[in-house]
Structure 1
Amino acid sequence: MIFKRIFDILASFCGLLLIWWIFPVVAFLIKKRMSDGPVFFCQKRVGKDGKLFTCHKFRTMMLKHDGSSVSVAGDSRITPFGAKLRHYKIDELPELWDVLIGTMSFVGPRPDVPGYADKLTGDDCDVLKLRPGITGPATLKYRLEDEMIADYVERKRKQGDIRSIQEIAVEYNDTVIYPDKVRLNCYYYRHYSFIKDIQMILATVFDFKVQFAGEEV
């Protein structure tokens, strides 16, 4: 995948040159509307070969929250301005820096927090052979993940489930969404195609569906 890395370096460098002006604008708005903390959200994530790296994003949550890694649409931890940054994926623009320095790629599995990747076994560990990506087949399929989890929580509540929103959300993520993401990302590793990479990048930018692993994502 040497050509993939060359593309990542060139595309991320050009991308940062083109959108650098967005960073001070977003930073100013975050400090104005979310003045309780820093502009950037920096967190240790599991990267290639299981090594930890620092992932950079614009902050979208209140500084003090319960720390759960699974978010739900309408989550009280996410500020109104943060919700807009998430909706338009602006919060992920700082990850271009992570791509440039080689801890991430444009296309690959989303970087997991420690605790998920550690549980991978057998052939599922192929996911760890990839650099984490800004986008990818699993990211495209679950582009509305927060809303999907919120719908599941609402259904469970109507069925009389008295657990907290976070408990129900974590259950759905751990038993349905995460295993399916691992399946898609393993397929991506075993059937890598640079053409598919370009298709998925374009699908992310222009919000359309692509065929992958026998389904539409």
Structure 2
Amino acid sequence: MKRTIDIVITVIGLPIALFLIFVCIVLVKLSSRGPAIFRQTRVGMHEELFTCYKLRTMYVGTHNAPSHETTASAVTPVGRWLRRLKLDELPQLWNILRGDMSFVGPRPCLPSQVELVEARRARGLYAIRPGITGIAQVAGIDMSDPQRLAKVDAEYLNTMSLRTDLRLILATAVGAGQGDRVAS
């Protein structure tokens, strides 16, 4: 049922999302050199690796690390705006259609985040698809505290429901959470 709802919401919202993605791509391209779409390998369901798509918010050449290990100076001016409004996540609709992700679930991490991968494995979190948003994101918990993050993500695993998903999607849409924090 969750997968069907993900697809239906994505297909319904795609015309608006495509327009917004196009506008954001133009802004990214006008503001800094490099591709507008950022691709990064992430850990997905059953610990399978997949390519996650986002609008590029950092300068080309920024090291491939979690956001909380990246300095704020790496984020472009347009990128700060995209991150604040969470528009950088829109290309992940493609990940949802492909079955790599869901709207709600644990945020997919990098394979290099070994402590987080192990903490999530211990709590059975790789039994579900990672999400664009989740309990931890709405609560403002980022990936800098892997044990706490995995514990909160596990709360979602134990309370998953359509009602919970809709509540988290709505909370994200109205601005709950701060997105991925970058180091100062």
Same fold (TM over 0.5): yes
Task: Answer 1 or 2: higher relative contact order, Cα 8 Å, separation at least 6.
Answer: 2
Matched, 1:10 2:43: no
Residue 173 of structure 2 corresponds to which residue in structure 1?
Answer: 205
TM-score (norm: length of structure 1): 0.74
Residue 97 of structure 1 corresponds to which residue in structure 2?
Answer: 94
Structure 1: distance between partners of 2:120 and 2:137? 23
The 3-state SS of whatever aligns with 2:72 is coil
| Superposed counterparts of 1:65-214, under 5 Å | 65-71=62-68, 75-116=72-113, 119-120=117-118, 124-142=122-140, 145=142, 173=144, 177-207=145-175
> 1:64 is matched by which residue type in structure 2?
G
Residue 164 of structure 1 corresponds to which residue in structure 2?
Answer: none
Q: Indicate conservation of the 8 Å contact 1:99/1:105, yes or no.
A: yes
Structure 1: distance between partners of 2:7 and 2:36? 25
Residue 153 of structure 1 corresponds to which residue in structure 2?
Answer: none
TM-score (norm: length of structure 2): 0.87
Q: Indicate conservation of the 8 Å contact 1:59/1:82, yes or no.
A: yes
Structure 2: distance between partners of 1:70 and 1:205? 21
> 1:132 is matched by which residue type in structure 2?
P
> 2:109 is matched by which residue type in structure 1?
D
Structure 2: distance between partners of 1:73 and 1:50? 24
Q: Indicate conservation of the 8 Å contact 2:120/2:126, yes or no.
A: no
Q: Indicate conservation of the 8 Å contact 2:119/2:146, yes or no.
A: no
Consecutive unaligned residues of structure 1, counting only runs of 5 or more, are: 146-169, 210-217
Consecutive unaligned residues of structure 2, counting only runs of 5 or more, are: 178-184
Q: Indicate conservation of the 8 Å contact 1:55/1:98, yes or no.
A: yes
| Structure whose CA Rg is larger | 1
Structure 1: distance between partners of 2:163 and 2:4? 15
Provide, for residues 71-97 of structure 1, a one-character-per-residue CA deviation record: whole Å limited to 9, x for no partner: 379711111111110000010011111
